[in-house]
Amino acid sequence: MLNKISDELKEKIKNFTSEDKIIFNNKVLDINHNYFIPITSVIKQENEIKNKTITFIDGGQAEIISAGNFCLSFIRIVGLIIRNNKKINNIKKEFYLLTTANYSDNELFYQSKIFGDKLVDEDDLYISSTDNTIRTGMERASISKVSNVARRFAELSMASCVNSDYVVLDGTLESTYKNEDKYLSRLNCNVCALAKSSSLFTTSGNSPIVLLNKLGPEGCWHYFLEHKSYFVKLHEKAKHVFRFEGNKDVLAELLDNCNDALFLGYPYSLILADRLARVGNQEKKSLQMRFLLSNENREIAEYLNTGNAHEILDNLG
């Protein structure tokens, strides 16, 4: 059966042609070979250009305790500042996010309170449980979804206030959540975003990333899409092409940060920012124990028993 599935998929791929078009922002864009522009490293350029700073920002989070009617998450945002491809500083902001359910005007809302570094306005996290930007299908959104919103807003908040020549975020600069436009509007023109994955398609159902990688020239390049959106290849031997948004001048600065053999063509400083921000399992368990082992929190533990059946089953084997 697996062979039949493979044959079906290979037949589909074989029918893709270079005479294709990219679907972007509900528009159909012709592929134009003149839009492939080479990128040259700044190492060979003037010192005043090389001395610019770049801050790479990413966030991490962990669900500490959760029941159907409340959720406590821990969120960490890291900004890694480099100059001449060397780390010169890093910024770290951390906070707990307590989200509870609130019934108002015949609707269930999620209300959040921040404990720690307040990068986000708590009022911006007040959201209906049936809001289209957080729910899946017709189901009411899980209360834990609000932590994703808070993390995204916090990343954008840090990006808007950091002192750096360029700022690079992991992801895109598109608005996906309610109130996100407020944080996007505060970003300076030096803020950019690089996405590891893309949900874009061509008119034949192909991936534009795969298609452009085949059609593109040798070496490093960027391909113009629309406004400040591009596809970029940041190492001549890279197998991956990424979606980029923002000021393309930073691309030449990024090339010498994309030589790590583990992920050629992707900035190592973004990988490091991800590692520094990530809340690992051991840290998560430690935070959980510090909270749950307190005798004063026995009543809270009773609520957890109503929502952690899946976790109990997972621990059984």
| Residue 185 in domain | yes
> Is the residue at 9 inside a domain?
no
Token pair recorded at residue 218: 């040798």
Q: Report whether 286 contacts 255 (CB < 8 A).
A: no
295 pLDDT tier (thresholds 50, 70, 90):
confident
Torsion on CA atoms 302, 307, 309, 315, rounded to nearest 10: -80
Range in 132-136, 137-141, 289-293 with the lowest mean pLDDT: 289-293
Q: What average pLDDT score do residues 163-180 get?
A: 96
Of residues 160 and 8, more confidently modeled: 160
Indicate if the pLDDT at residue 273 is higher than 90: yes
Q: Give the dihedral of Cα atoms 257, 262, 266, 269; nearest 10 deg.
A: -50
- Domain with 310, as residue range(s), is 288-317
Ranked by mean pLDDT, the top range of 151-165, 227-241, 275-289 is: 151-165
Same domain flag for 274 and 299: no
Query: Residues 138-152: pLDDT tens digits?
Result: 889 999 999 999 999
Q: Are residues 257 and 180 in the same domain?
A: yes
* pLDDT, tens only, 11-33: 787 777 778 888 988 889 899 99
Sequence-distant (≥ 6) Cβ neighbours of residue 109 within 8 angstroms: 101, 102, 103, 126, 127, 128, 129
Question: What is the mean pLDDT of the segment spanning 249-258?
Answer: 94
User: Do 163 and 249 fall within a single domain?
Assistant: yes
Cα–Cα distance between 315 and 293 in angstroms, integer?
Answer: 19
pLDDT at residue 317, rounded to an integer? 47
Q: Is the pLDDT of residue 313 over 60?
A: no
Q: Does residue 33 lie within any of the structural domains?
A: no
Residue in the block written with tokens 């003149």:
34
* 244 and 122 housed in the same domain: yes
> Nearest 5°: phi and psi at 152?
-60, -45
Query: Is residue 16 domain-resident?
Result: no
Give 68-104 pLDDT, tens digit per residue.
Answer: 889 999 999 999 999 998 999 999 999 999 999 999 8
Say if residue 159's pLDDT is above 80.
yes
The pLDDT value recorded for residue 232 is: 96
In whole angstroms, give the CA distance from residue 107 to residue 278.
Answer: 34
The CATH number covering residue 204 comes to: 3.30.2170
Residue 94 lies in a domain: yes
Length of the chain: 317
CB 211 within 8 A of CB 36: no
Q: What share of the chain has pLDDT > 90, as a percent? A: 63
Q: Within this chain, do residues 259 and 162 fall inside the same structural domain, yes or no?
A: yes
Which residues lie closer than 8 Å to 266 by C-beta, 6 or more apart? 194, 196, 234, 238, 240, 242, 258, 260
Residues 257, 294, single domain; the answer is no
At 312 the pLDDT is 46
| pLDDT tens digits along 175-205 | 999 999 999 999 999 999 999 877 888 888 8
Look at the chain and report how many structural domains it folds into.
2
The confidence band for 35, taking pLDDT boundaries of 50, 70 and 90, is very high
User: Within this chain, do residues 204 and 308 fall inside the same structural domain, yes or no?
Assistant: no
Q: Are residues 186 and 272 in the same domain?
A: yes
Residues 6+ apart with CB under 8 A from 161: none
Most confident option among 27-31, 63-67, 170-174: 170-174
61 plus 168 within the same structural domain: yes
Residue 55 confidence (pLDDT) above 50: yes
> Which tokens go with 186?
């505060």
What percentage of the chain exceeds 70 in pLDDT? 92
Are 208 and 301 members of one domain?
Answer: no
Confidence of residue 311 (pLDDT cuts 50, 70, 90): low
Assess whether 254 and 213 both reside in one domain: yes
Is 27 a domain residue?
Answer: no
The widest CA-to-CA distance across the chain, in whole angstroms, is: 68
